[in-house]
Each structure stands twice: as C-alpha cells, then as structure tokens.
Structure 1
Amino acid sequence: MKKAIRMRVFPDKHEAYKKRHDELWPELQEVLKTHGCTKYNIWLDEETHYLFAYLEIEDEELFTKIADMTINRKWWDFMADIMETNADNSPVSIDLTQVFELED
C-alpha cells in the first residue's frame, strides 16, 4: 500500500529537521520496519517549508499502531520544536490523494 502525506517544518528549522532524520533512532527505525513500513521518503519544498512524505506499508491497521508506541511519542516530542504539531505533539499531517502513477 502506498501513502503520501504533507507536513510542514518551521522556516528556520530545515537543517535541524534533516539532521534529526539523518540520525533517526535505531529503535524507531526498527518499529517502522516491524510494523510493515518498507519504504519511507521525505522531501522538503524549501520555498513553502512543506514536507512531502511517501511511504510504502504492508498493512494500514498495523502501521497505525505505531502512533501509540512510547518510542514514537518520544520522537513526536523531540520534533515538536521544529515543525507544526497537534496538541499531542503529533505532526500536523494531511493525507494526499494519488492522481497519477507511471510504472514499468
């Protein structure tokens, strides 16, 4: 299953966002993998500060369980100072609708 979401990083926090993801905690990487995430890519539009994330997951229900895990909550708290978040520190994210795909 393919997913795409949009989030937003604060204008002066682009470098911090990249650095934190370059150093993504091994425990969080493992949780993503064990919950069926086989690909996860994030791009930044430097002009608008929007992040575009593309994920491939095996099972939506399994993947959504990550939100309640302690390691994920710690990550949200860690990221809250550099991006738009909800009251629980989860990133404000908008699901995007796929409108085109070209495959071999």
Structure 2
Amino acid sequence: MIRKASVMKVYKEHHDEYRRRHDELWPEMEQMLREHGMVEYSIFLDPATDNLFAYLVITDEELWARSADTEVCRRWWAYMKDIMETHADDSPVSFELTEVFRLD
C-alpha cells in the first residue's frame, strides 16, 4: 500500500459547501476512485487557514495517476472549481507532502 498526502485550499466562504458536496459524492466518482486503486481517502479542513489536508492510501501509483484522465474526474474538477483554488484545467492546486515520520 502507498500512502499519499497533499494540501489544497478552499475559499473561506465555501467551507460548508465543500463539505456538502463531498457528503453527496457522486456514486460514479467513488467507483472511479476505487477502480483506480484508492483504498482509503480522507480530507481534513483547517478553518483558520482554509487549507485542506488530503490523506489517501492507494495500491498503485501509475493506476492512480490515470484517474485524472477520466471523464468523471474532469467533471468533478469543473464542479469544484468555483469553491477552491484550481489550475486552468480545473484541477485543484495541490502540493504533495513528503512523509518524514511514521509509527505503526
């Protein structure tokens, strides 16, 4: 299993909307994530900074990377672009984090 973490940013006035949209995650989005090796996925919000901390466990880096090319992922990004920082292609501005400590 591969552990990944990243940081994104949601606009301050859209914290509740971000949560609502994820509470109503499209079934086809969940299916795509699972088909692309997602085992576990959590997103945490720091309301003081508007930062989102995403943590996920995947089975395969190459398979996971292909999830960004799916139609449902592109639709999700377009759906989310009005409430968070995104690139020109609607993908979220995201900074991957490096694991520096782990205790199992």
* TM-score, normalized by the shorter chain, greater than 0.5: yes
Whether 2:57 is the aligned partner of 1:60: answer no
**TM-score, with length taken from structure 2:** 0.98
Gap regions ≥5 residues in structure 1: none
- Counterpart of 1:43? 44
Name stretches of at least 5 consecutive residues in structure 2 with no aligned partner.
none
What TM-score do the two structures reach when normalised by structure 1? 0.98
Identical aligned residues as a percent:
52
Runs of 4+ in 1 over 3 A off after TM superposition: none
Q: How does 1:78-97 map to 2 (within 5 A)?
A: 78-97=79-98
What root-mean-square deviation, in Å, do the aligned CA atoms of Structure 1 and Structure 2 show? 0.4
Q: Give the drift of 1:2.
A: 0.4
Paired residues, number: 103
Q: Displacement of 1:102 after TM fit?
A: 1.4
Cα deviation for residue 34 of structure 1 reads 0.8
SS in 2 for 1:82: coil
Question: Following TM superposition, by how much is the alpha carbon of 1:98 offset from its aligned partner in structure 2, in angstroms?
Answer: 0.6
Q: Could you say which residue in structure 2 is the equivalent of 1:16?
A: 17
CA distance in 2, matches of 1:26, 1:78: 15
